[in-house]
Structures are given as structure tokens and as C-alpha cells.
């Protein structure tokens, strides 16, 4: 049967190899054309033989499954199949005997509880799918940034460290962008994305854009004398919301601890599908300054394409802004990760860690916020 070839429901004909795999004990353990550990027969699933013929002048349809034959009432047969000789086999196809990973979700067939159902869902800005092993081309990119004596050829969004020495020219007051500029970067990059879509900027243009955003945000806070600002840490989510409003962009801020876990996830997912990045702000300054201890702070993670795992970095999300640009859901692991832009690069956040952390509450500080573009 394997050598003869089998026609699948999608019209593809599968033929498999003729030499059965011999196990360590010297016994044939079956044909395994793709070497995934499942025999071709196991992958093709249960064989069903369908026969229709005349018996004593009457048409009879039978169906044989694993040695047992059932007679099917004539009335259930489609009219175009009645009164003709039939004899064929069908299989309730389990997985492809010529592919180790039939559904391409990175779990090989023997390790995949649903070998024909993609268990990894990714959502990109605009609602497409993406491969976490491939860098996102779809958001903001900054080219040829001179920083630390080197040139950064291609950064994923901005990095507040590039602005470490920026001061207000007349007074020489350091704006502390390096420590506290993540909100400016997030606000700037999302606005660029909303205006121009996926786009790249050379350093001088990008720098000007960030400084404009900075002064716009500062003006929002301390109008009419923005030069009085000594620290961008004053930028809170509601300032970004107001800044956007003045620029014709409607946004809404949600405190994470007040929203149901699944509902936030669905809301983030809908926003990404609508091509709207989401700004995430962890506001826990006290923990960031070491004044209180939280027992479950979380870190930015990177995707390791060799293992398929999301590995911790040193970047703690205590008092930090990032922009959510994608979502990765693994139904086998029952895990969700948010792809975020931070420090000029792509990172991931474990959704459970993110949500659990934001359930703390005390009288002196507050949990994180999400800023959604309407």
C-alpha cells in the first residue's frame, strides 16, 4: 500500500519508502519514511475499506474498519454514487509520513498532540503572522547610529541610551534621557509608526524626531516653561495620552491590575491586528529604587531559535516603558509571550509573569498601565 501511493483529501499522493526500519532488536518496527519515529502506517491512521457491489441483484455498500464490516443503508449514499461498483480505501490521516513536522509548528509529529493543527500562533502588527526567529521588519528601524565609539547599523526602534548626554543647551541641565527616556522613545516610535507605518530613519532624522517628541511631552507637563524639567521620569502614561490627543491621536490608558487577564490579552491582540502598537508602562519606581521589595518582578526575555525557548536577560521591568509589537501563543505549553520593542532591540515578555507581577497593590505606588491607541 505504501509503495503504491495514497491519495490524500487535498489531492496530494503520498508514496513512502519500501525498506522497513529495523529496530535495535533486529525486528522490523515499520516503515518510517521521514524518520520522525512514527511508522508510515501510524501516520496514515486507521484504514477504512469502502465497497459497493450488487448482491443478489441489490446494491450493497459496506465499510470495513479494523476487520469489522458494517453495512451502510442505501438511503445515506449520495445519488451520484448509487448504482456503481466501488472499492477503495480511505484513511483518517493522522500526520504526513513524509514530513517530520506536518503542521510546521516546530513540534515534530510524535511530540505533537495535534500534528495537523498549528499549535503556535503569532500575531504581527496588522494581523499577519511572523517567525520569532526572524527579525521584525515591520516596525520602526533606526539606521547608522553613532554610539559608544561604534555605529549601530540597524536598531529596532530607539534606545534612550543614545541620548545620554543630551542637555538643554542654555542651562546645561542633563535631561536624564538615558535613565528615564524610555517613555519618550515609546511615545515617539508609536507616533512615527501611526504616521508612516513600518519605516526606517537615519540617525539625524530620528534624533530630531525624538527631541521634538521630548519637548512636546515636556510642554504637556510644565507648560509654559518646558526648560524647567530636569528629569523625564515625570512622563507618566497620562502625559503621553494628552500629548497624543494634541497631535490628533486618541488613546486610552488602562491600569493592568484592574482588568481580567484574558480580556487584556484579547484587547492587546485586537489592537495589534488593527495595526496599533500598545505601550506598556511599569511604574514601580519604589521597587526600581530599591525602597520596597517585590517578590515576583519580571525580566525582558530573548527568543533562542535553537531551543525555541525564551531566555531571561538582565533587564528588569520595574520602572520601564516598552512597546508591544507582536504576540506569540504556544498552545502546547499554554504560554503567551508579548514581543516588545525596548533599548533599540526586540525582546519578549512572559504574559503570566507580566500579569502576576501587576497584581500587587500598596498605598504608595501603583501597578503598570497599558496605553491603547483608539
Binding positions for Ca ion, rule: CB under 5 A: 32, 34, 36, 38, 95, 101, 103, 105, 107, 109, 112, 114, 117, 119
Is residue 95 within 8 Å of 34, Cβ to Cβ?
A: no
Q: CA 256, CA 190: separation in Å to the nearest integer?
A: 20
What is the distance in angstroms between the CA of the first residue and the CA of the last residue of the chain? 58
Grouping H, G, I as helix, E, B as strand and the rest as coil, residue 175 is: coil
- For the bound state, the minimum distance from the C-beta of residue 35 to Ca ion, rounded and expressed in Å, comes to 7
Q: Look up residue 160 and give its three cell numbers.
A: 534612550
**Cβ closest to Ca ion, residue 32 vs residue 191:** 32
List of residues 6+ apart from 168 with CB closer than 8 A:
175, 227
Is residue 344 within 8 Å of 157, Cβ to Cβ?
A: yes
DSSP 21-43: EE-TTSSEEE--TT-SSS-HHHH
How far, CA to CA in Å, does 56 sit from each of 59, 60, 85, 89, 99? 8, 10, 14, 24, 46
- For the bound state, the minimum distance from the C-beta of residue 102 to Ca ion, rounded and expressed in Å, comes to 6
- For the bound state, the minimum distance from the C-beta of residue 45 to Ca ion, rounded and expressed in Å, comes to 12
Is residue 6 within 8 Å of 14, Cβ to Cβ?
A: yes
Cell match 504560554: residue? 335
**Cβ closest to Ca ion, residue 108 vs residue 136:** 108
**Cβ closest to Ca ion, residue 95 vs residue 336:** 95
- For the bound state, the minimum distance from the C-beta of residue 3 to Ca ion, rounded and expressed in Å, comes to 15
**Cβ closest to Ca ion, residue 115 vs residue 138:** 115
Q: CA 31, CA 17: separation in Å to the nearest integer?
A: 7
Q: Cβ–Cβ contacts within 10 Å for residue 13, how many? A: 9
- For the bound state, the minimum distance from the C-beta of residue 64 to Ca ion, rounded and expressed in Å, comes to 25
**Cβ closest to Ca ion, residue 36 vs residue 136:** 36
**Cβ closest to Ca ion, residue 15 vs residue 161:** 15
**Cβ closest to Ca ion, residue 21 vs residue 259:** 21
- For the bound state, the minimum distance from the C-beta of residue 90 to Ca ion, rounded and expressed in Å, comes to 19
DSSP 8-state class, residue 349: E
- For the bound state, the minimum distance from the C-beta of residue 109 to Ca ion, rounded and expressed in Å, comes to 4
- For the bound state, the minimum distance from the C-beta of residue 349 to Ca ion, rounded and expressed in Å, comes to 24
User: Looking at the DSSP assignment, which residues form a beta bridge with residue 309?
Assistant: 304
Is residue 247 within 8 Å of 191, Cβ to Cβ?
A: yes
Q: Look up residue 274 and give its three cell numbers.
A: 488593527
DSSP 8-state class, residue 240: H
**Cβ closest to Ca ion, residue 43 vs residue 189:** 43
Amino acid at each position: 500500500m505504501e509503495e503504491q501511493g495514497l491519495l490524500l483529501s487535498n489531492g496530494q499522493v503520498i508514496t513512502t519508502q519500501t525498506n522497513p526500519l529495523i529496530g535495535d532488536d533486529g525486528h522490523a518496527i515499520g516503515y518510517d519514511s521521514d524518520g520522525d519515529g512514527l511508522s508510515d502506517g501510524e501516520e496514515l491512521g486507521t484504514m477504512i475499506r469502502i465497497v459497493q457491489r450488487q448482491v443478489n441483484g441489490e446494491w450493497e455498500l459496506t465499510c470495513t474498519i479494523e476487520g469489522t464490516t458494517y453495512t451502510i443503508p442505501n438511503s445515506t449514499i449520495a445519488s451520484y454514487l448509487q448504482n456503481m461498483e466501488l472499492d477503495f480505501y480511505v484513511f483518517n490521516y493522522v500526520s504526513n509520513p513524509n514530513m517530520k513536522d506536518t503542521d510546521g509548528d516546530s513540534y515534530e509529529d510524535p511530540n505533537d498532540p495535534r500534528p495537523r493543527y498549528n499549535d503556535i500562533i503569532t500575531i504581527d502588527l496588522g494581523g499577519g503572522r511572523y517567525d520569532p526567529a526572524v527579525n521584525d521588519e515591520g516596525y520602526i528601524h533606526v539606521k547608522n547610529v553613532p554610539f559608544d565609539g561604534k555605529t549601530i547599523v540597524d536598531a529596532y526602534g530607539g534606545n534612550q541610551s543614545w541620548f545620554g548626554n543630551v542637555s538643554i543647551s542654555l542651562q546645561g541641565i542633563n535631561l536624564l534621557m538615558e535613565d528615564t527616556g524610555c517613555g519618550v522613545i515609546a511615545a515617539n516610535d508609536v507616533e512615527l509608526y501611526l504616521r508612516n507605518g513600518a519605516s526606517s530613519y537615519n540617525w539625524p532624522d530620528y534624533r530630531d524626531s525624538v527631541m521634538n517628541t521630548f519637548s512636546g511631552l515636556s510642554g504637556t507637563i510644565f507648560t509654559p516653561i518646558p526648560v524647567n524639567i530636569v528629569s523625564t521620569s515625570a512622563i507618566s502614561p497620562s502625559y503621553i495620552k494628552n500629548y497624543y490627543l494634541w497631535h490628533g491621536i486618541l488613546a486610552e490608558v488602562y491600569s493592568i491590575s484592574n482588568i481580567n487577564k484574558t480580556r487584556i490579552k484579547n484587547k492587546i491582540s485586537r489592537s495589534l491586528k488593527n495595526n496599533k502598537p500598545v505601550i506598556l508602562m511599569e511604574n514601580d519606581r519604589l521597587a526600581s529604587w530599591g525602597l520596597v521589595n517585590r517578590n515576583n518582578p519580571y525580566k525582558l526575555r530573548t527568543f533562542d531559535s535553537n531551543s525555541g525557548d525564551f531566555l531571561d536577560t538582565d533587564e528588569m521591568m520595574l520602572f520601564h516603558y516598552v512597546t508591544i509589537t507582536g504576540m506569540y501563543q504556544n498552545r502546547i505549553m499554554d504560554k503567551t509571550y508579548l514581543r516588545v520593542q525596548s533599548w533599540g532591540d526586540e525582546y519578549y515578555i512572559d504574559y503570566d509573569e507580566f500579569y502576576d507581577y501587576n497584581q500587587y497593590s500598596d498605598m504608595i505606588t501603583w501597578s503598570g498601565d497599558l496605553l491603547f491607541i483608539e
